Amino acid sequence: MERANGVGRMISMTPLKIPMPPRKLSRRSLVRGSVAAGALLAASGPMAGATAAERAHPTAQALDTAALQAAISDLAHPPSVSAQLSVTRDDERWYGTAGVADLSTGRRPHPADRFRAGSVTKAFVATVVLQLWAERRVRLDAPIGRHLPDLLPPRFGQITVGQLLNHTSGLPDHEGLPDDSTPEAVLRHRFDRWTPEEWVRTIPADRPLKFRPGTKQEYRGITYVLLALLVERLTGRPYGEVIRSRILEPLDLKGTLPPGHDPHLHGPHIHGYLRMTDGTLEDATTFEMSSCWGEGELVSTVDDLLRFQRALFSGRLLPPHAMAKLFTLPPEGVRMLDGSPARYSMGLQQAVVNGVTFWGKTGEVYGYRTRVFSTRDGRVGFVLNYTPTPLSTDEEMAARVAAVLAR
């Protein structure tokens, strides 16, 4: 199926053989995607007259591929250079694209093209931490200071591993971060190199906690920096090697990797661009990602993220008691700082669209946005990657896709 501004195709889906066991975003909030889930969550309210049981999953119907193609083909809302979407419904799969992967060549996106997946990294880190918990190598109620005593002051060290996983830590805000108020400033800092310990030190030790740990929820990337350091302390290996041996290699995710200090994307890849204040576009693909170490640095592909999603939701990567943590929100009394319901579990986030509950993860880095969501039963899922050019954009594209799938 060819279209003037995009391409879509139905793909024969062979089920994986899996054994069953504020509007202006700061650098830190942009790279960590701290408001994206809220926008997707608010994309559509519950369907009038539908009970939870009735709307546990979308109605059984064939994929509306024309509507899905239209959802990603509007590259003006938000302003984007490219989009690609992979959707599964039971054994059916559809992949579509819009725009170009590279403005200099006009090449279209391909599902094996690499891109920066941003905070989708957190789902990989959380999976490893929950694996280690299932192996009884760490307790979720253990104070993080027990494992990382040299990094945090004692009062911060009482925050538990589980509170880091579900963003109920209460850690104070960062101080002393680079200027990111304009796209020009962002690109001036694109080659800054940080260690994870330096990022931890941007949390001021003399500031009080924002709230008592476990009583409220606030999405914070620094908590996953600490969790990646925990993985290294528990295993004695770099966290990227642990992710590779426990997830990437077993699932044959050859397009996914932690880039380390390499600022380049190698092989076929999607280019990300930023709109400068004078209106011109600058290629922002080359970027030193150490400021996102452990929580937002992974490079991946649409194909790989779809395979990871299906394996994770099927139970291939975690035993049942650990799987339950992925789909359990904090207690009812725990709310986001703005008073809205908590929406983060220990590794995933919940989004309700037209009364249908999706679970997954958002990710964003300058020039890239990625959304990986599925119904809990795995019947309907999608991976969306697109390349918005403003520093701050609305969640329109993901909301359009989710609305089609939640009919």
Domain harbouring 206, CATH code: 3.40.710.10
- How many separate domains does the chain show? 1
Which residues have CB under 8 Å from 48's CB, separation 6+?
none
The residues near 314 (Cβ < 8 Å, ≥ 6 apart) are 16, 18, 20, 378
pLDDT above 70: percentage of residues in the chain: 85
pLDDT at 282: 98
pLDDT at residue 56, rounded to an integer = 56
- What digits encode the pLDDT tens for the residues 57-81? 666 678 999 999 999 999 999 999 9
The Cα 206–Cα 173 span in angstroms is: 12
User: pLDDT at position 61, please?
Assistant: 76
Q: What pLDDT shows up at residue 60?
A: 61
Q: Band the pLDDT of 232: cuts 50, 70, 90.
A: very high
Q: Which of 327, 368, 365 is nearest to 348 (CA)?
A: 327
- Contacts from 53-61 at CB under 8 Å and sequence distance 24+? 54/355, 55/354, 55/355, 55/356, 56/356, 56/357, 56/375, 56/377, 57/356, 57/375, 57/377, 57/379, 57/380, 58/89, 58/356, 58/375, 58/379, 58/380, 58/405, 58/406, 58/407, 59/407, 61/407
Q: Which spans in 213-276 are helix H? A: 222-235, 239-243, 249-251
Residue 25 has pLDDT above 80, yes or no: no
- Output the six-digit token pair for 388: 């918005």
Mean pLDDT of 12-29: 34
| 91 confidence band (pLDDT: 50, 70, 90) | confident
CA distance 88 to 100: 23
The residue with greater pLDDT, 386 or 7, is 386
Confidence of residue 387 (pLDDT cuts 50, 70, 90): very high
- Give the pLDDT band of residue 296 (cuts 50, 70, 90): very high
Q: pLDDT at position 62, please?
A: 84
Residue 226 and residue 164 in contact, taking contact as beta carbons nearer than 8 Å? yes
Q: Identify the CA nearest to 302 among candidates 386, 377, 219.
A: 386
Task: Output phi, psi for 115, to 5 deg.
Answer: -155, 170
Query: What is the rounded average pLDDT of the residues 88-99?
Result: 95
Q: 274 is in which domain, residue-wise?
A: 2-356+363-405
Residue 89, pLDDT score = 94
Q: Which residues pair with 380 in a beta bridge?
A: 89
β-bridge partners, 368: 365
By the 8 A CB rule, do 282 and 276 touch? yes
Q: How confident is the model at residue 388 (pLDDT cuts 50, 70, 90)?
A: very high
Q: How much is the mean pLDDT over the chain? A: 88
Q: What is the pLDDT of residues 238-286, one digit of tens each?
A: 999 999 999 999 999 999 999 999 999 999 999 999 999 999 999 999 9
H or E element, residue 122: helix 121-134
Distance between CA atoms of residues 108 and 293, nearest Å = 30
Q: What's the confidence (pLDDT) of residue 367?
A: 97
